[in-house]
Structure 1
Amino acid sequence: MSRLPRPIDLASRRLGGGVMAANDEHFGKKERLLDPSDPVSHAAHTGLTGDLYDGWETRRRRGPGDDWALVRLGAAGIVREIVVDTRHFRGQNPPSCTIEACAVEGFPSAESVLADDEVRWVPLVKQVPLLADDVNRLPVDSALRMTHVRLSIHPDGGVARLRVLGDVVPDPRRLHGMTFDLAAQANGGRVVACSDEFFGNPTNINAPTPQLRKEKGWESNRRRSGGHDHLVIELAAKGVVGIIDYDTTYYTGNSPESFSLEGCDATASDLRDPDAWFSLLARTEGRHDTPHWFSALPAPAVTHVRLNIYPDGGVSRLRLWGRPDGTGRSHLAHRWFNSLPEDHAAAVLRNLDVPAGIAARVVPGRPFPTPAETIAALRHADDGPGVGKLLELFEV
């Protein structure tokens, strides 16, 4: 069984992340920081500005100051680890770096994020040394949901790749009242168990689409004995699955012979109990290189699903379209509201026309231990239309 869950790269280009600005990119463009592929060596190749390197690289600084790049996360979330990859930079790497993050409403420009005095930058990694030609893994201790990250290098140099690993925390305002993919990474779904990942990372299975030919899905080794392979996905929220998209695109001779889908409600049962799992789709024959869809069997709301493949093979994507139930909605809203930094929480309430005095009473009281306590605190603060709009996200 693979060691899971793994954090998601919140800055991934597949999720929509982007490098919004950098103060200098003389030798290497800022966009290379988020290239999903590993950096490659361009040794012995030169361009108009000198040797070529696969990454973001600034010119040699001759005065005071440091260089920086601003990244918009593709999926806002709680950052667990930063990877500053300096591979192939053997003399041009920065001696050290600092990483900060912030959370803002909407889709502001780089200029407004950087110039707004009300934006609160939170240090995720204080200044630390960086090794040359290495994958520098920097742990982060934070419980706050962030939307943007700023990498500062001291004083200059080159960085091949930047990965911002963490847990997606979706904004319930975007999902409220909608049928959506309960398994999707972008919505907070995550793979938490897998029997085998010899040929393909299981976290690919709920990655955004479309899948490109060079990318892989989840693929297990060839089974030479009995049994079958499986993986388990924790859904973005407890919900009722309606439509199952099972996609074997690009697996032309190595997709499973058949598959089945089971569900479990971890709020009521132990995931380790075999009897806690019930069928969402009986064992069904599949086709190579084909996107399939099926209606799920009538079943209660679930928090986890288990995809069983018989006996082995590769699956490109699994999408589970459905709606969260009342418990799922309240937990989704509770986690989001509790994890907002204070300035972002205040901005959310301001956009809902909640009076500043009420926001000042509610925001510092977080985190609330349970959804019920969050709801009680909001109701105690005010019963006006602004707070009512926020309570609607909890469906109470």
Structure 2
Amino acid sequence: MGNVISSQKHHYLKTKELKETGFESLIEVSSCVRGAIIELVSDDSCGDAINLLKAAKVDRSLNLDDLGDNTDGWLTKRHESAGSATVTLCNDSKIVGIDIDTTGFTDSCPSCASVEGYQYSTMTHLFSYNQWQVVLPQSRINADSHNFFSIKDTNVYSSVRLNIVPGGGIARFRVYGEISPDWSDTSKDYNLASANLGARIVRWTDQRNANNPSILFDNGTEISDGWLTPRSRFGEGRNDFILIQLATAGILESITIDTTGFGANLPENVFIQGCYSEDIDPHHDQFASWTCLVSYGPVGPADETVFYNSYKKPVTHIRLYLIPDGGIQQIKVMGKPSKKDKKQPLLIQPSAKEKSIQDWVKKQEDKVVGAMIDQYNKRSAVEQLNVVDHTTNRSKRLRSD
């Protein structure tokens, strides 16, 4: 393919489906839902650049020609030799994947695109610098299509700049990566369950009937923005749960349950557990031990209910149960980042008695080896050479056999 660019750091993916890229497990750090914004644009006379960051799928019919006024993408005016749009990411992030989506743009699609990242670096206490780094060099892109690129880059960026040649139309610009927040202020309490700091939902019950939960965002006001479970039937409670990997391990101060928008659909109680695990999903960690953080606590309608925590060991995951069913808008887990504990070894440690036996055996082996070396050193130089020659000849005979 003439429009494929490939190198050790940048690779064009031939697939047109997100699920085949491996980016689904990453965070879309350029989404306006997470707070990403258009910082600067060279020209968007024919299509607003904010469309690049929309979470909704592209309405292809709006981009097929220039006759309509409602373009669902970023479109520059005609005869522009180039165009650029600068995006402030939701947080400082490492970039792993990019999608330059040109759905609906055929004749007005640019020929090439490139991406730069804005990096802040401190070399010394007295000197620091800001600069743009090439994340994706100028590459050919396809019209009316997804253009996925995998990126290998260890740098952390706060903003990215999409450049197109010539000017034209881009429907969506999605940047997938790993958020790298600044935890340097150890005196500050952070919302460790914030999606913008890197927290994520790794498991929840009844994925077929329950809505896709989004309780890690702080901009929800309606039921569709939160998490609502199906109603219980036949007098039995559902007790659905959601499992959250916190942004980092932390000592928790409080847990807030926000029920804004759930005045008539809130649960009667919540039950919350916490654990420490280095696995993404602690359900696969045989050493994960769950501790009760909130035991059957009632929550108020369309309000924030705060539960203060007395457990003072590091926690990496939260498991929230809604009893017997209902919904919430958001969960906030306030706490201070902590150093991670060393993971418990998989092998069972020997008992004190077994260890003493092992130490005794090792000492005996050392004595035997030491005696052999002493006996060898007491021989004359001629005798030592004879031993070496005898050993060498014996090895040669074994190889020849």
TM interval, shorter chain, is 0.5 to 0.7
Shift of 1:158: 1.2
Q: Which residue of 1 aligns with 2:150?
A: 139
**Counterpart of 2:102?**
86
Aligned residue number for residue 150 of structure 1: 161
Shift of the alpha carbon at 1:192? 2.1
1:125-204 pair list within 5 angstroms: 127-132=139-144, 134-173=145-184, 175-197=185-207, 198-202=209-213, 204=214
Name the CA distance, whole Å, in 2 between partners of 1:16 and 1:193. 24
Take 1:171 and 1:246, find their aligned partners in 2: how far apart are those partners? 25
Task: Note closer, same or farther for the CA distance 1:187–1:51 as it changes in structure 2 (3 Å cut).
Answer: closer
TM-fit CA distance, 1:5: 7.8
In structure 2, the partner of 1:216 is 225
In structure 2, the partner of 1:320 is 333
Match of 2:71 among 40, 53, 64: 53
Does the CA-based 8 Å contact 1:233-1:304 persist in structure 2? yes
Deviation at 1:240, TM superposition (A): 1.5
The structure 2 residue matched to 1:307, chosen from 313, 317, 320, is 320
CA deviations on 1:103-135 (whole Å, 9 max, x unpaired) are: 1269xxxxxxxxxx9624132465142341x45
Q: Is the 8 A contact 2:211 2:229 kept in 1?
A: yes
1:220, 1:167 → 2: CA distance? 29
Distance 1:257 1:141, change over 3 A: farther
Amino acid at match of 1:12: S
Q: Cα gap change, 1:158/1:188 in structure 2, threshold over 3 Å: closer, same or farther?
A: same
Report the CA distance between 1:322 and its aligned residue. Answer: 1.2
Pick closer, same or farther for the CA change 1:192–1:126 going to 2, 3 Å. Answer: farther
Q: What residue in structure 2 maps to residue 264 of structure 1?
A: 275
Residue 122 of structure 1 corresponds to 134
Q: Superposition RMSD on alpha carbons, in Å?
A: 3.6
**Maintained 8 Å contact 1:53/1:89:** no
The residue number in structure 2 matching 1:356 is none
TM-score (norm 1): 0.67
Distance in 1 separating the partners of 2:63 and 2:84: 28
2:37 aligned partner? 18
Distance 1:44 1:90 in 2: 8
- Count of aligned residue pairs for this structure pair: 311
Per-residue CA shift, 1:365-386, capped at 9, x if unaligned?
xxxxxxxxxxxxxxxxxxxxxx
User: Which residue type is aligned with residue 184 of structure 1?
Assistant: S
TM-score by length of 2: 0.66
- Alignment partner of 1:104: what SS? strand
The residue aligned with 1:346 is none
Confirm whether residue 72 of structure 1 aligns to residue 88 of structure 2: yes
Cα separation, 2, equivalents of 1:320 and 1:263: 11
Matched to 1:67, the amino acid is G
Deviations 1:208-252 (A, max 9, x none): x23233851123444557653222222222211111111121123
- 2:373 aligns with none
Q: Which 5+ residue runs of structure 2 have no aligned equivalent?
A: 1-21, 123-128, 342-401
Cα distance in 1 for residues equivalent to 2:174 and 2:63: 27
Evaluate the alpha carbon distance shift between residue 126 and residue 43 of structure 1 in structure 2; reply closer, same or farther with a 3 A threshold.
closer
Contact 1:246-1:293 within 8 A present in 2 as well: yes
Confirm whether residue 6 of structure 1 aligns to residue 6 of structure 2.
no
Counterpart secondary structure, 1:172: coil
3-state DSSP of counterpart to 1:71: strand
Q: 1:122 to 1:311 in 2, by over 3 A?
A: farther
The structural deviation recorded for 1:84 is 2.7
Percent of residue pairs bearing the same amino acid type: 27
Q: Secondary structure at the match of 2:120?
A: coil
- Most deviating of 285-294 and 134-143: 134-143
Contact 1:100–1:151, Cα closer than 8 Å, also in 2: yes
